[in-house]
Amino acid sequence: MLQILHERFGHKGFRDGQEPVIRALLEGRSALAVFPTGGGKSLCYQLPAVLLDGLTLVISPLIALMKDQVDALTAKGIAAARLDSTLDVDELAHVYARLEAGSLKLLYVAPERLANENFRLRLKALPIQLVAIDEAHCISEWGHNFRPEYLKLAKLCRTLKIPRVLALTATATPRVAQEIRRHFRIAAADHVQLSFHRSNLDLRVTPCAAAERKALLLDRIRALEGPVVVYVTRQETAEEVATWLARNGLSTQAYHAGLADDFRAEAQRAFMAGETRIMVATIAFGMGIDKADIRGVIHYNLPKSLENHTQEIGRAGRDGKPAVCELLACGDDLTVLENFIYADTPTRGALGNLLDRVLRLGGTFDVSAYDLSVTCDIRPTVVATVLTYLEIDRIIEATGSYYAGYRAKLLRTVDQIGAGRKPAERRFLLGLLESGKRGRGWLAFEPAALVADLGVTRQKIVTALGELQAAGDLVLEHSGLRLGYRMLNMPGDLRDLTDKMFTVFERRERADLQRLRQVLALAGHRGCLTAYLTAHFGETLTEPCGHCERCRGVPAHAVKRPPARRPADDEWQALRALADERHAALATPRQLARFLCGLTSPASTRARLTRHAAFGLLADLPFADVFAMTQTL
């Protein structure tokens, strides 16, 4: 093991925590690694992947991490590949060919790819020895970043009879870690957790007013040498602050999810290469970024949780040299952060509508989460969560997901595809290809509609298309994800189920608000800041850290929320005029309040109402106040 560690990875020894995790996996047991950002989680599955006979499947929501790690492994001579939306036709075909040949040791995929029925069928035929699940805290309903699709990973691993699973995260509280272990059946003895105390990080909190924040930021950056990451909440803030810093002579770029993929990739490349000194970014930047010499991480806006704060400051000083991590704590941010939380909570009426639409289908059925989201005006993540909860309560059972349509681009002629095949197989494939509706360079297929015409099952059609792609005969694109279910038990009174579900989302709303209050408590904490953060993750420091502001004697100051302003007469007039327009997407007081606070919803987005002059008119007011206003109309 040490020989492979040195020869393939260039390390003379293990870092803290790595060896017990790796040994557990090699001995056939599953494990949980809770290592702070930069703690060396990746080696915990990369080294076993080299030593185990078979494939290691790495599930990660981070395309940037997948690309960087695959490039690094390939440079070391380790056979690794990724499947994500950035690959072109030839690259996809090459990855599938390597999978078929059994020449890959590691394959990186996003959780969403597991919804692809072709891919799931392919997984069943692969010799998977290890599944590594990054950002495993997303499986927890009580975590800061719950993702419903993660709840299905444990079931998938059992269905595929995976011999060992490695769950990895940098931000798990004791309660979240316990939930991860329960889902993946990980023994407490195989839960390895490192200290969150980083002695080279200088933690600072500076309460400030919104008007003075840019000047403070400029002073802080000018006092630092080396790369700096500035975290903001909104995309427009990233652009505004990056432009302002650039005008003040600093090498700066913005990074957020609203940028085109190529712009984001170039911004990241320039920062990693040292061509850009400062990155002003939303949380879309940084996950999986391994830049050792970041000398400062500054939160221009309040983070939404201590987990986010800890993960983001963990990107500073990975080379072990001193780095500054400062929070510019401004009470003005509270309104925006709280409004985001309130916007995610569906109304009781919208939930009842969603449940009625799903449960009245009965028997065996399939639905489109996108269509449900728009029709009920509930965010897609909330729709997915509702469906997941119905599965957990054994009301419905997932039968699998599939795509309603496929598009195929032929890479060979029809005659070439059919050459060398048995007559029956050749007739079926040629008939399948002839049944596709021709477009500009593409053939469109609707498998459900072709079942009767071709006299075969849907699965045979989908499998055939997948095999043709794997053979390099064509490349596939899919659309119209449908989720299949079977009714197990009728829930009884729909109103009772709606009330129960609404209570769950109200509880999540309260939990998210509590996480925000914990950030405020950090800002006003009179004791050691490092000790406060580590305690959140179940770790008790034996003595104060000695390298944060409180330990240096800088006094604490509570973050004060500015008094809410009263809406002006012209704003009331605009509100009434908007209500009088009677848009279907703004029919309820809550829909109207979200819109006025600048919060999009599926229905308002589809109706293109975000271009309306009143969108975000009252974005600086608390959601509760705006909601109260809309209820008077």
Q: Which two tokens stand for residue 83?
A: 């499947």
The structure tokens listed for 309 are: 């704060």
> What is the CATH T-level fold of the domain 402-485, as seen in this structure?
Arc Repressor Mutant, subunit A (1.10.10)
Give the Cβ contact number of residue 318 at 10 Å.
Answer: 19
The rounded distance, in Å, linking the Cα atoms of 211 and 444 is 55
Residues paired with residue 111 on neighbouring β-strands, in sequence order: none
Q: Domain spanning 2-193: which superfamily?
A: P-loop containing nucleotide triphosphate hydrolases (3.40.50.300)
Question: How far is C-alpha 429 from the chain's CA centre?
Answer: 38
One DSSP character per residue, 369-398 reads HHHHHHHHT--HHHHHHHHHHHHHTTSEEE
- Percent helix, strand, coil in the chain, to 5, is 50, 15, 35
Which single residue is written with the structure tokens 């996950």?
Answer: 287
- Structure pTM? 0.82
Cα–Cα distance for residue pair 591/605, rounded to 1 Å? 12
Domain with CATH 3.40.50.300 in the chain: 2-193, 201-338+532-536
Two tokens, residue 554: 């800088």
Tens of pLDDT, residue by residue over 177-220, are 999 999 999 999 999 999 999 999 999 999 999 999 999 999 99
Three-class DSSP category at 301: coil
Q: Which residues pair with 280 in a beta bridge?
A: 230, 254
pLDDT in tens, 96-105: 889 989 999 9
Give every strand in the sheet of 278-281, ordered side by side.
201-207, 323-329, 296-299, 228-231, 278-281, 252-255
Q: Which amino acid is at 316?
A: A
d(CA 189, CA 170): 19
Give pLDDT, residue 114.
83
**What is 201-338+532-536's CATH topology?**
Rossmann fold (3.40.50)
SS3 104: coil
Task: Report the distance separating Cα 386 and Cα 375, nearest Å.
Answer: 15
Helix (H, G, I), strand (E, B) or coil at 461: helix
Give the list of residues 6+ apart from residue 260 with CB closer than 8 angstroms, or none.
none
Scanning 134-173, the segments in alpha helix (DSSP H) are 148-159
Closest by Cα among 555, 506, 568, 567 to 527: 555
What is the Cα–Cα distance from 434 to 420, expressed in whole angstroms?
Answer: 19
Closest CA to 470 of 122, 35, 24: 122
User: How high is the pLDDT of residue 65?
Assistant: 77
State the amino acid at position 251 in one-letter form.
Answer: S
Angle between helices 423-435 and 458-470 (to 10 degrees): 100
- Half-sphere exposure (Cβ direction) of 84: Cα atoms closer than 13 Å: 21
Q: Where in the chain is the domain with CATH 1.10.10?
A: 402-485
Give the span between the Cα atoms of 21 and 16, in whole angstroms.
Answer: 10
| pLDDT score at 144 | 67
| Pair of tokens at residue 391 | 């599965």
Quickly tell me which residue has 């036709």 as its tokens: 89
Res 471: pLDDT: 85
Helix (H, G, I), strand (E, B) or coil at 275: coil
- What residues contact residue 455 under an 8 Å CB cut-off, 6+ apart? none
Splitting the chain (633 residues) into consecutive groups of 10 residues, what average pLDDT does each group show?
82 91 96 88 94 95 81 92 82 87 93 78 91 92 76 87 95 91 96 94 95 96 96 94 97 92 88 96 75 95 94 91 97 92 88 95 90 92 90 85 89 90 91 91 90 88 88 88 89 92 91 92 94 94 95 93 90 94 92 93 91 93 93 90
What one-character-per-residue DSSP string does 189-207 give? GGEEE-----TTEEEEEEE
Predicted pLDDT of residue 287 = 61
Cβ(398)–Cβ(485) below 8 Å: yes
- With beta carbons less than 8 A apart as the criterion, state whether 45 and 134 touch: no
> In degrees to the nearest 10, what's the CA dihedral of 534, 146, 164, 87?
-110
